[in-house]
Structure 1
């Protein structure tokens, strides 16, 4: 098996892990949680995406939005802190890259996943995001 095929298989396995994590909602699923119509919500989430406040991944032709982008206890409003992290990550990562980053253990966060800390420790998550895009600098 050549390296290109091996990488493609690993990427697909990673996508399967991300999409099956339970961290992703379609607009229709989000509509059920918020009691807003699908059309209202579509307009809202795509506007939020264009403003860089949330991101989505596309899997098999369907857009999925991260559950951790929405505050369930606050009427499913967007978590404001997410925008700052997206601004940093978007300089080097596409939506899938962000999904992998948010859903993976991070040594800068003591082995925790960024999605777990986005609401409670934004400063550390921002530092981890900066570290991710800058890499280790040697002096």
Structure 2
């Protein structure tokens, strides 16, 4: 099998894993939670994305928003630290790269996934994001 084809298949499998994780909402689903119309919500979401406060992945022409980006107890406002995490990760990753990072175990977080920790210990997730973009240094 061609290496390029194999890589493409692995990426697609990863995207399937991310999408099927249950961590993603489309605008209509989020609008039900926030009691906003879909149009109001889309306007709000695109504004938040423009401000770098949230990100979305596009899969088969549909934008998906990460559930872990929103604080259900805070009126579904974005988790405050997410903006800083996005700013750091965006230097090396696109939205899909961020989705993979948030949904993968992280040694800096003791094997936990950033999406599991962001609401309970946002500072350590911020440090883990910084560690991610710094990469491995050999000395």
TM-score class, shorter? over 0.9
Aligned to 2:70: 70
Aligned to 1:47: 47
Give distance in 2, aligned partners of 1:136 and 1:121: 23
Give distance in 2, aligned partners of 1:77 and 1:8: 35
Give distance in 2, aligned partners of 1:72 and 1:91: 28
Give distance in 2, aligned partners of 1:78 and 1:127: 19
Aligned to 1:18: 18
Contact 2:18 2:100 in 1 (8 A): yes
Aligned to 2:114: 114
- Once the two structures are TM-superposed, the CA of residue 20 in structure 1 deviates from its matched residue by 0.4
- Once the two structures are TM-superposed, the CA of residue 51 in structure 1 deviates from its matched residue by 0.5
- Once the two structures are TM-superposed, the CA of residue 53 in structure 1 deviates from its matched residue by 0.2
Gaps of 5+ in 2: none
Give the alignment's Cα RMSD to 1 decimal. 0.8
Give distance in 2, aligned partners of 1:50 and 1:132: 23
- Once the two structures are TM-superposed, the CA of residue 123 in structure 1 deviates from its matched residue by 1.9
Aligned to 1:33: 33
- Once the two structures are TM-superposed, the CA of residue 126 in structure 1 deviates from its matched residue by 1.3
Gaps of 5+ in 1: none
Q: Which contiguous aligned blocks of 4+ residues in structure 1 show a shift greater than 4 angstroms? A: none
- Once the two structures are TM-superposed, the CA of residue 138 in structure 1 deviates from its matched residue by 2.6
Q: Give yes or no for the alignment of 1:59 onto 2:85.
A: no
Give distance in 1, aligned partners of 2:103 and 2:30: 20
Deviates more, 1:50-59 or 1:74-83: 74-83
Give distance in 1, aligned partners of 2:127 and 2:82: 13
- Once the two structures are TM-superposed, the CA of residue 76 in structure 1 deviates from its matched residue by 1.0
Contact 2:55 2:95 in 1 (8 A): yes
Give distance in 1, aligned partners of 2:76 and 2:125: 21
